[in-house]
Amino acid sequence: MTVDQQDSASHVARHSSEPARPGFAPPRRKPRKQRGPRWLPGLVLVSPSLILIGVFVYGFLGWNVRVSFTNWRGLSPKYHFVGFDNYAALLRDERFRADVRNLIVFTVVFVAGAMLLGFFMAMLLDRGVRGEGFLRGVYLFPMAISFIATAIVWRWLLDNGEGQDTAGINKLLADVGLGFLRSDWHKSDSIWAISAVALPAGWALSGYVMALFLAGMRGVNETLRESARMDGASETQIFWHVVRPALRPVTFSALLIMVHISLKTFDLLYALDQGNLRIDTPSLYMWFTTFDGGFYDRGATIATVLLLGVAFVVGPYVWYSLRTERR
């Protein structure tokens, strides 16, 4: 996941760091004879990574799709073709249907929450506070903690014991006289239970969204703000009419990064409350059914469905960024 984040982050920053092209060749040297086509050295240079990506990403991806059309169960691989049987079974699978619903609820709450919070924090920092560097670090730090560690801490914070077992956030609320706000968090009976997990997830990643937005806000040319001020615009008007439109690409990137992180969230849920199906998602079901039960066919089918889901989100992003870069 961190690799993806770095990818996307560098993508955001790329526009400003276009490498300078050499304008001319040294005049004294004879133009050297070109052996082989011009693109060949470049291709040779990237070929190791192309081959590795080809085998380890696309090759295994294809293999996974193949397994999803078989009836492979247990430790002896079977490649008997069963058509779309696994997909049909998955559609009828009660646990999978609940998982998809959970994932949608989680994605909506987590992404909206992290985006709003991140945007708000960036806006405050952009106003120029004292100790901005320190605050930036504080907000970004949770991202450096592994999701497993985050989950272990939040397992206690989101404890829903009552009476003398009250602990975590509920205890904090009770101690300051806000006991009526007590919640069962992710163990509540509501179908929204999984949205409680948006708290630790948002805690971990809203700082990252803040950093993205802050970079975007700082990228807005100061002369634009100056001229708006000269025209008598208030700071709010400047924010709305000058800064906000300039943030559209950043918003788009941040949104897609968050959505695809959300779709792939595994470790946080795995460590938070194992086996609690209220916070079960397709990726957890995939893991348990494959490695506990040996249902390799079903696991591969879930993986393929998840891949399609992520492609559905990332596809438009790739298309959009290719189009804007060509311009």
Partner 1 sequence: MWKGRLAIVTILFVSLLAGLSMFTVRGASNDQLEVYSWWTGPGEEEGLAAMAKSFEGANPGVRFVNAAVSGGAGSNAKAILASRLLANDPPDSYQRHAGLELLDDVRSGKVQDLSDMYREQDWTKVFPKGLVNNLTIDGKIYAVPVNIHRANLIWYSPKALKELGLAGPPKTWAEFLQQADVIKAKGKTPLAVGPEWTQKHLMETVLLGELGADKYERLWSGGISWLSPDVTSALDVYTKVLATSDVKSAAGDWQPQLDKVFSGSAVYAVMGDWSSSYLEQSKKLAYKTDYDVAASPGTDGVYDFLSDSFTLPTGARRPDLARKWLIECGSTAGQNLFNPLKGSIPARTDADAALYHGYLEWALQQWRDPKMRIVGSLTHGVVANNAYNAEIDSALGLFVQHGDQGKFARTVEQQYRETQ
Separation CA 45–CA 47 (nearest Å)? 6
Residue 81 phi, psi (nearest 5)? -75, 125
How many CB atoms within 10 Å of residue 311?
12
CB of 4 to partner 1, least distance (A): 23
For residue 36, give every residue at least 6 positions away whose Cβ sits within 8 Å of its Cβ, in sequence order, or none.
Answer: none
**In the complex with partner 1, which residue's Cβ is closer, 111 or 194?**
194
- Comparing CB distances to partner 1, the nearer of 162 and 231 is 162
To the nearest whole angstrom, how small is the minimum distance from the Cβ of residue 163 to partner 1?
A: 7
197 contacts 272 by C-beta, under 8 angstroms: yes
Smallest gap from Cβ 268 to partner 1, in A, equals 14
Closest CB to partner 1 among residues 97, 218: 97
To partner 1, the closest distance from the beta carbon of 37 in angstroms equals 12
In the complex with partner 1, the residue whose CB is nearer, 1 or 277, is 277
* The residue count for the chain: 327
H or E, element range at 114:
helix 94-126
- CA-to-CA distance for 110 and 4, rounded, in angstroms? 18
Closest contact distance (angstroms) between CB of 282 and partner 1 is: 13
| Closest distance to partner 1 from the beta carbon of 275 (Å) | 3
Contacts 24+ apart (CB under 8 A), 188-192: 188/160, 188/278, 191/101, 191/105, 192/105, 192/109
Query: Considering beta carbons, is residue 20 or 322 the nearer one to partner 1?
Result: 20
| Distance from C-alpha of 285 to C-alpha of 270, rounded to nearest angstrom | 10
Q: Which is nearer to partner 1, 153 or 313 (CB)?
A: 153
Q: Which pairs with CB-CB distance under 8 Å and at least 24 residues apart come from 291-299?
A: 294/73, 294/74, 294/75, 295/73, 296/67, 296/72, 296/73, 296/74, 296/77, 297/67, 297/68, 297/70, 297/71, 297/72, 297/73, 297/82, 297/86, 298/86, 298/89, 298/90
User: Is the CB of 99 or the CB of 126 nearer to partner 1?
Assistant: 99
Shortest Å, Cβ 219 to partner 1: 34
The one-letter amino acid code at 322 reads L
CB of 119 to partner 1, least distance (A): 33
User: Is the CB of 287 or the CB of 320 nearer to partner 1?
Assistant: 287
DSSP secondary structure letter of residue 133: H
Q: What Cα–Cα distance (Å) separates residue 103 from each residue in 65, 98, 260?
A: 22, 9, 11
Both structure tokens of 222: 């100061």
Max Cα-Cα span within the chain? 87
Note the residues at the interface with partner 1 (CB under 8 A): 32, 35, 41, 44-45, 48, 73-77, 94-95, 98, 155, 159-165, 184, 187, 189, 273-278, 280, 285, 287-289, 291-295
Nearest residue (CB) to partner 1, 132 versus 184: 184
Q: Are 155 and 271 in contact (CB under 8 A)?
A: yes
Shortest distance, position 231 Cβ to partner 1, whole Å = 53
